[in-house]
Amino acid sequence: MPVKRRTIKVDALARVEGEGALYVRTAGKRVTDVRLRIYEPPRFFEAFLRGRAYTETPDITARICGICPVAYQMSACRAMEDACGVQVDGQIRALRRLLYCGEWIESHALHIYMLHAPDFLGYASIVEMARDHQKIVERGLALKRTGNELMRLIGGREVHPINVRVGGFYRAPSRAELDGMVDRLRQARDDAVETVRWVAGFDFPDFEQPYEFVALRRSGEYPIDDGRIVSSGGLDVAAAEYADHFVEEQVPHSNALHSRLRDGFNFNVAGESAGRRSAGGTYLVGPLARYNLNFDALSAPATSAARDAGLGPVCRNPFRSIVVRAVELVYACDEALRLIGQYEAPPRPFVDVPARRATGHGCTEAPRGILYHRYAIDENGVIVSARIVPPTSQNQAQIEADLRDVVQQSLALPDDRLTLRCEQAVRNYDPCISCATHFLRLHIDRG
């Protein structure tokens, strides 16, 4: 008897940033092929950074993404400051973190409300959802607007901020200007708590994965702009050691490189033996990874929102990432309020960063996960080489692994429902394909 074959194809994935497609092939009760194909054209940013001045990186790399430009600016600045041997801290660092909170609020609100929630409520898009849930959608838009306003206040404008420079900012806001955001951020924090309650009530597929989570970690704070790169498998390294532990490889079906943890590395934290290493070195970055590795560092309102939503310190169900993202929304609003509360305008909005011949590394937590930059510059500060590893390329292999298991578990579903489930599984990652080409059509081939 011939084996029944199915092909599921989504030629242009909706509700993701950028352009990509999905192809799944099954034979009988077995998934034989899963490919997340990113066909958005390559961007060549690393090549055209060569020959530019080290001071230009925040403005050039911000253009990689309209949703997470601050992440690019922060990783770029930190890498250049690392190269030049300069540490930026105090109120300038606090302002960076505050700007970054604006981006987390804006990006998380967009993904939770506009892109991901329609999957759980059975709508094709936010437009159909808005007809039945006006107040909820208005709440999402208000949250997003507050994030945008915070970005405009600190960054000069909400997309591709213009106020960021290597060493700090061109202008620091006054205490009074930041005080003007407090009432809106308090409302946003309340709205974020409501968001956690709302999404916690969705139906989630019973699906868990043995992920290796990778995120930043720094004692005493939830990771945004700084920290060591740690994993649930025991990795604990500085940003400068990134290339020793992660490898990027080209795959024929995607314009985005796939990242993997190098095999054979034996971590040893506090004398403990190496953790489990997932097959093929796949790993996961983003809200789920940050949450699992830094639960203890969440603020009290974020922790209590998580507890009320039934989340413990460990969550391995990627479909619940929408709840975790909402918890991070609470955190970002709360952290912004804390930073504003302790703010004193710095006497000078930046520190000097004189160029020297060196290589620098920067890694910060974009809304979608860790974003690594490395630059080599010469004695005049001219960029000799650049390397940028965005979160979505790091998640690509894991997205494919999730898809394989989701399809395997859901083979009884008819093609249309299986396709929707696959798209939802991809959107769990809030993939930013524009960044990763570095998004989505789905093909399920059942023969």
Partner 1 sequence: MLVVGVGNRDRGDDGAGLVAASRLGAAAGVPVALLDAAGDGTVLLDAWRGADTVIVLDAMRSGAAAGTVRRLDAGPEHRPAEVAAHLGAGALGVSTHGLGVAEAVALSDALGRLPRRLIILGIEGACFDAGADLSPEVARAVDGAVRLGLEEVADVPRPAR
DSSP β-bridge partners for residue 260:
247
- On the 0-12 / 13-18 / 19+ scale of CB atoms within 10 A, 87 is exposed
Q: Which is nearer to partner 1, 216 or 332 (CB)?
A: 332
Q: Note the residues at the interface with partner 1 (CB under 8 A).
A: 14-18, 66-67, 110, 114-115, 125-128, 130-131, 134, 137-138, 141, 144-145, 148, 158-160, 434
Nearer to partner 1, 282 or 434 (CB): 434
Other C-beta atoms within 10 Å of 182: how many?
13
In the complex, minimum distance from the CB of residue 148 to partner 1, in angstroms, rounded to a whole number = 7
Measuring CA to CA, which residue among 282, 246, 257 is closest to residue 398?
Answer: 282
Minimum separation from the CB atom of position 144 to partner 1 (A): 6
In the complex with partner 1, the residue whose CB is nearer, 419 or 434, is: 434
Q: Closer to partner 1 by CB, 148 or 231: give it.
A: 148
CA torsion 249-321-30-28 (nearest 10°) is -130
CB of 304 to partner 1, least distance (A): 29
Nearer to partner 1, 60 or 397 (CB): 60
Question: How many angstroms separate the CA atoms of 251 and 36, rounded?
Answer: 10
The contacts of residue 112 (CB under 8 Å, 6+ apart) are 140, 195, 199, 322, 325, 326, 329
Nearby residues of 17 by Cβ (< 8 Å), 6 or more positions away:
65, 67, 431, 432, 433, 434, 435, 439
| Nearer of residues 136 and 358 to partner 1, judged by Cβ | 136
146 by DSSP, 3-state: which? helix
Distance between CA atoms of 394 and 260, rounded to whole angstroms? Answer: 7
Parallel, antiparallel or unpaired: strands 228-231 and 214-217:
antiparallel
Q: How far is the CB of 126 from partner 1 (least distance, A)?
A: 6
